[in-house]
């Protein structure tokens, strides 16, 4: 992201936003020789996203991404130790000012799924091709990372 674009994102309706860090898991699997990625919905607006959340004290960003994948989507797997990229989004918070989040994205190879997990019933999920996922998410930066996944894995 360019400095000018970041500055523009820091201003929302005349309010200066803080910057916070989050961690996300780009969950993927190969099924019938096809690469699939997991999308989940946000709890409130039901937009399609990938599992993400605030960094957890005592955990690395990759460990946080792994934990978020479990809590939000019920998946377990092997998470890369280094991010494949990042995206930004504005987090609107109840009774607090909005915050600009920089989200580090870690590829997570899913090895198992569970029907029972902490946020079960609060979100929908679906497995789709990286191209379809890129078309479904609102963030152009996240869309770009989804399109990049196939090239990284080959």
Q: Taking 60 as the threshold, does the pLDDT of residue 6 lie above it?
A: no
50: closest CA among 154, 112, 141, 121? 141
Domains contained in the chain, number: 1
Residue 151: pLDDT over 60: yes
CA distance 58 to 63: 9
The residue with tokens 């500055």 is 7
pLDDT of residue 63: 98
CATH of the domain at 76: 3.90.79.10
Structure-model confidence comparison of residues 95 and 34, the more confident one: 34
- Domain that includes residue 48, residue range: 3-153
Q: Would you state the pLDDT for residue 91?
A: 84
Please give the pLDDT value at position 11: 52
Q: Residues 29-33: what's their mean pLDDT?
A: 94
Residue 145 buriedness (CB in 10 A; 0-12 / 13-18 / 19+) = buried
Judge whether residue 15 has pLDDT over 90.
Answer: no
Question: Rounded CA gap, 125 and 38, in Å?
Answer: 7
- Whole-structure pTM value: 0.86
């Amino acid at each position: 992201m360019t400095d000018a674009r970041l500055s523009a994102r820091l201003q929302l309706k005349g309010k200066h936003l803080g910057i916070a860090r989050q961690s996300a898991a780009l969950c993927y699997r190969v099924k019938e020789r096809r690469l699939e990625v997991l999308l989940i919905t946000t709890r409130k607006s039901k937009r399609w996203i990938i599992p993400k959340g605030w960094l957890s004290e005592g955990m690395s960003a990759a460990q946080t991404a792994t934990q978020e994948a479990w809590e939000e989507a019920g998946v377990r797997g092997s998470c890369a130790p280094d991010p494949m990229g990042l995206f930004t989004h504005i987090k609107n918070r109840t009774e607090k000012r909005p915050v600009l989040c920089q989200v580090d994205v870690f590829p997570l190879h899913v090895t198992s799924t569970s029907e029972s997990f902490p946020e079960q019933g609060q979100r929908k999920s679906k497995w789709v091709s990286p191209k379809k996922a890129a078309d479904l998410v609102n963030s152009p930066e996240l869309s770009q990372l989804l399109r990049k996944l196939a090239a990284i894995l080959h």
